[in-house]
Amino acid sequence: MKYRTVFDIIGPIMIGPSSSHTAGAARIGRAARKIFGRKPKRVIITLYGSFAKTYRGHGTDIALAGGLLDFDTFDKRIVNALEIAKEEGVDIIFRESDELTDHPNTARLRLEDEKGTMEVVGVSIGGGKMEIIELNGFELKLSGNDPVLLVLHHDQYGAVARVATVLASHKINIGFMQVSRKEKGSEALMSIETDQPVEPEVQKEIQDLPGILAVTIL
Amino acid sequence: MNVFVEKELVAMKFRTVAELVEIAETENLKISEVMILHEAEVMNRPREEIFEEMGRNLDVMEQAIQRGLTEDIRSHSGLTGGDAKKIREYKEKANVLLSGPTILDAVSRATAVSEVNAAMGTIVATPTAGACGILPGTIFTAAEKLGSDRETMIRALFVAGAVGFCIANNACISGAAGGCQAEVGSATAMAAAAVVEMAGGTPSMSAEAIAIALKNMLGLVCDPVAGLVEAPCVKRNAMGAAIAMVAADMAMAGVKSVIPTDEVIEAMYKIGQTMPVALKETALGGLAATPTGRALERQIFGTIDKKS
């Protein structure tokens, strides 16, 4: 089920005017910021479908910028997010695309700084709810509701089992798990939603496992 | 697919309105109670915490109503604002009201919240920001009329949530996916069911109210002028509140929908799927594409561009 909690329906508390084009967009921006793990220097945002057609009227650009600055949907600073981004030295560029996507409200965000780049695709599915459906070319599905562990690893046997074993030894239950790869035998990405929070020492333990390239907690 | 997780954990599990009503009536519970138990179970959260969070939503709604009825609200585009006050004043002063004071209270409150939303104020998306006026408009008006306490009002939000939950998981709640019928239509159905429980109606009556309300929203397109959540959205919130109040009364009178509620929801979904993209929040058709709609669009974005 796409909507799991009553607060997906009654909520969020947000700055208007549109839950899909403002609140959902802010959440996509914020999720991208969290996955990136730091304030980006430059962000290129490509908007598709209804986002591309109506983003200025709905303040989608403002909301995405607010999310990238780590503002929540009800943060009044969202209204001035474009100016604040400028002041904070975050360069945000918007592009409109005519390309057809599966969902009408889709945004692709490329975050950059001197340390690296990252690309995510987010869709705003309605009522302020969003999903991240692509990360650096890996297909995945993140709702941002539960704690999520992202593990980049070599596409080899045993990687999934080793990570699961570490989680089990810390009594962390896996609610939802997905493994995605671009091609056989190269790199793969595990996204694991857990019922309990994953503490930094558990992250370190997973990081040190053979074949693991990077671990991020959201 | 996380179906297995949900299956093993949830005893109060419902996916359709029929299932929701069945659980409520066999367990002798209110719809709001079923939703609260479901939430506590699925999200593994204590009841008090859930109730408190919903209470905060109610507070934000009340503040938005207050702002819209007392302050001079104007959106950045200048398209909307001030009508809530106008309706309220008319209701107080007019010698004869053609509809009635309760309906006009619901309408003015719904307009108030919707105008605050358009002006980038703080609101609660119920289920969306585009439809955020309908629940506050109806719940606060019904509470005033019925003398309901705060708990009853918070419960009403859980009823609305339960209904929205069924609609969102079986159909859709965004204008981009299903047109205005999915947004204002869903909110109207949610409000109708909520008000029925507030007035002491049965879960079945709530279900009938959903069907009666939603049927009158089927086919409604999402055609916002200049792509803004303003025209016709604010007035559709106003009329959504009016329809919800009347649908609730009809259901309380014992009127039943010929087509069962879940089938009405399914019909809404299918209509949304077959609705042209031009009429689903792209501002390419309907009122947005009228000569005046287009002229306003040029005028508004002309000024915004100059400003930035």
Domain with CATH 3.30.70.260 in chain A: 148-217
Q: Tokens 């959106």: give the residue.
A: B75
Count of domains observed in chain B = 1
Q: Residue B209 above 50 pLDDT?
A: yes
Distance CA A166, CA A161 (A): 9
Would residue B84 count as lying in a domain?
yes
Terminal alpha carbon distance of chain B: 45
The pLDDT confidence band at residue A58, using thresholds 50, 70 and 90, is confident
Average pLDDT rounded to a whole number, residues A94-98: 95
Q: How far A158 CA lies from chain B's nearest CA (Å)?
A: 22
What is the tens place of the pLDDT at every residue in B214-245? 999 999 999 999 989 999 999 999 999 999 99
Put simply, the answer to whether B125 touches A74 (Cβ < 8 Å) is no
**B123–A127 C-beta distance less than 8 A:** no
Interface check for A96 against chain B (CB to CB < 8 A): the answer is no
Q: Which of A15-24, B8-17, B114-123 has the lowest mean pLDDT?
A: B8-17
CATH superfamily, domain A148-217, is ACT domain (3.30.70.260)
- Please check the confidence at residue B250 and state whether its pLDDT lies above 60: yes
> Does residue B9 lie in a domain region?
no
Chain B contacts of A1, Cβ < 8 Å? 6, 15, 169
10 Å CB burial of residue A155 (0-12, 13-18, 19+) is middle
Q: CA-CA distance, A5 to B273, in Å (whole number)?
A: 25
Q: What is the mean pLDDT of residues A171-189?
A: 89
**Residue A50 is nearest to which of B169, B190, B282, comparing CB atoms?**
B282
Place of tokens 């981009």: B176
Residues of A in contact with B304 (CB under 8 A): 56
State yes or no: pLDDT of B116 exceeds 80.
yes
B1 inside domain: no
**The pLDDT value given to residue B303:** 57
Task: Could you please state the CATH topology (level 3) that the domain comprising A6-142 is classified under.
Answer: 60s Ribosomal Protein L30; Chain: A; (3.30.1330)
B4: pLDDT strictly greater than 70 = no
Note whether B168 contacts A127, CB cutoff 8 Å: yes
Is the residue at B3 inside a domain?
no
pLDDT mean across residues, chain A: 92
pLDDT at B1 over 80: no
- Look at residue B305 in the predicted model and tell me its pLDDT: 47
Start-end ranges of CATH 3.30.1330.90 in chain A?
6-142
Question: d(Cα B145, Cα B147) in Å, to the nearest integer?
Answer: 6
Instruction: Give the domain extent around B182.
Output: 14-307
pLDDT at res. A182: 83
| Per-residue confidence (pLDDT) for residue B215, from 0 to 100 | 98
Q: Are A172 and A195 in contact (CB under 8 A)?
A: yes
From chain A, pick out residues whose CB is under 8 angstroms from the CB of B278.
none
- pLDDT tens-digit map of A99-143: 989 888 999 999 999 999 999 999 998 889 899 999 999 999 888
ipTM of this predicted complex?
0.92
What gap in Å lies between CA B227 and CA B129, rounded to an integer?
Answer: 14
Percent of chain B with pLDDT over 70: 94
Q: Is the pTM of this model over 0.80?
A: yes
Helices (H), B119-252: 134-146, 150-170, 175-178, 180-198, 203-215, 233-252
Neighbours of B222 (CB within 10 A): 32
Residue A151, phi then psi, degrees to nearest 5: -125, 115
Q: Is B132 exposed, middle or buried (0-12, 13-18, 19+ CB in 10 A)?
A: buried
Q: How confident is the model at residue B304 (pLDDT cuts 50, 70, 90)?
A: low
d(CA B308, CA B304): 6
Residue A96, pLDDT score: 95
Q: What pLDDT, on the 0 to 100 scale, is given for residue B8?
A: 41
Q: Which residues of A touch B2 (CB under 8 A)?
A: 175-176
Question: Is B4 within a domain?
Answer: no
Mean residue pLDDT of chain B comes to 93
Q: Is residue B211 part of a domain?
A: yes
Task: Flag whether pLDDT at A175 surpasses 60.
Answer: yes
- According to DSSP, the β-strands at A129-135 and A138-142 are antiparallel
Using an 8 Å CB-CB cutoff, list chain A residues near B226: 57
The pLDDT of residue A145 is 72
For residue B2, the model assigns a pLDDT of 45
In a mutational test of the A interface, the residue from B120, B139, B230 whose CB has the highest number of chain A CBs within 10 Å is: B120
User: What mean pLDDT is predicted for residues B250-275?
Assistant: 98
Q: For chain A, what percent of residues have pLDDT higher than 90?
A: 71
pLDDT at B10 over 80: no
Residue B7 has pLDDT above 80, yes or no: no
- pLDDT number for residue A142: 87
Structure confidence by residue, pLDDT tens digits, B131-158: 999 999 999 999 999 999 999 999 999 9
